[in-house]
Amino acid sequence: MDTDRYISSCCTGSRSSSTTRTVGAVVSTLHRTRQRRAGNAIWSLVEGPASRPPSRFLRDSYAEVWETCAVPPDLRRATDLVVDTGRWKTESERYIGVGGRIRVRRPLTAANASGGGFDMAESQHTPITRAAIYARKSTEQQSADADAKSVTRQIADARTFAATKGWLVSDAHVYADDATSGAETAKLVNRQ
Amino acid sequence: MRDASRLSRRDGDEAFGELKAIAKAGVAVWFYQGATTFSFGSFSDNVVGFVRAEI
């Protein structure tokens, strides 16, 4: 099993051979580990060119992945593999990512996207798309419970949509209009 | 947001204008209900956008 084969197996999640089954298990382990460590963040391996030596950040990332994935020593060629945050719908489905280029990402969490450990220049990847959510309930809705559910549902649906697009939604950019009209300034003042 | 009508309680033309202002500022406005983006500029986009913002 050479490195390319290993990477390819990781990216497709195929289970057509014993090799890919092994890789699938490795990715599954990595998947669970990352979910425990970083909430919704999921790491996977993707192919990247060996066009330049890895930086310290890259080497640290490799080391972490090698350890987590239990990648055999003969496959630990750091310049051939990179780390990416990707999404696996299930273990058996294809990796959903923007493939083709070398990229290294820290888990897509609000904390590290704002600077904590995420090095945009070093990672050479496409920038994270940040998304804001706006939800508003209708004034026609009379029930307070229904209204709350409506806004809550809108936000949840919007988060799901953003997740499918691979966007980052920070809690600070989730806006909800709970039926306080812009003309009803008294209510707005009372909120302060 | 869910759809164009969610943005504002104001009249459709005003709501559509607000969406245009946001879009012109460089923000891609997505409506998750139909997985569509806000667009404007053409006759059809403007008419449909106004109607959707109104209802």
Pair A17, A96 in one domain: yes
Interface touch B6/A134, C-beta < 8 Å: yes
Pair A104, A119 in one domain: yes
Residues in chain B: 55
Number of domains in chain B: 1
Pair A114, A152 in one domain: no
Mutate to test the interface with A, among B5, B6, B8 (most CBs of A within 10 A): B6
Pair A115, A173 in one domain: no
Pair A102, A185 in one domain: no
Q: Report whether pLDDT(A5) > 50.
A: no
Residues A23-32 have pLDDT tens digits of 333 343 343 3
Gap from B15 CA to chain A (nearest CA, Å): 13
Pair A144, A116 in one domain: no
Interface touch B1/A161, C-beta < 8 Å: no
Last residue within a domain, chosen from A94, A123, A152: A123
Residues A93-105 have pLDDT tens digits of 333 333 322 233 3
Pair A116, A141 in one domain: no
Shortest CA distance from B8: residue in chain A: A136
Interface touch A135/B2, C-beta < 8 Å: yes
Pair A41, A83 in one domain: yes
Interface touch B35/A136, C-beta < 8 Å: no
Collect all residues of chain B within an 8 Å Cβ-Cβ radius of residue A131.
30
Number of domains in chain A: 2
Pair A83, A15 in one domain: yes
Pair A26, A100 in one domain: yes
SS3 of chain A: the string is CCHHHHHHHHHHCCCCCHHHHHHHHHHHHHHHHHHHHHCCCCEEEEECCCCCCCCHHHHHHHHHHHHHHCCCHHHCCCCCEEEEECEECCCCCCEECCCCCCCCCCCCCHHHHCCCCCCHHHHCCCCCCEEEEEEECCCCCCCHHHHHHHHHHHHHHHHHHHHHHCCEEEEEEEEEECCCCCCCHHHHHHHC
What is the residue range of A32's domain?
A: 3-123
What is the residue range of B33's domain?
A: 4-54
Pair A38, A116 in one domain: yes
Q: Report whether pLDDT(B10) > 50.
A: yes
Higher pLDDT, A21 or B11: B11
Collect all residues of chain B within an 8 Å Cβ-Cβ radius of residue A133.
1
Instruction: Provide the pLDDT for residue B50.
Output: 73
Last residue within a domain, chosen from A123, A150, A181: A123
Taking the whole predicted model, whether its pTM rises above 0.80 is answered as: no
Q: What is the mean pLDDT of chain A?
A: 49
Residues B27-40 have pLDDT tens digits of 888 988 888 888 88
Closest residue to A135, CB basis, from B1, B9, B30: B1
* Range name among A1-15, A41-55, A78-92, B23-37 with the lowest pLDDT average: A1-15
Last residue within a domain, chosen from A123, A139, A159: A123
Higher pLDDT, A127 or B51: B51
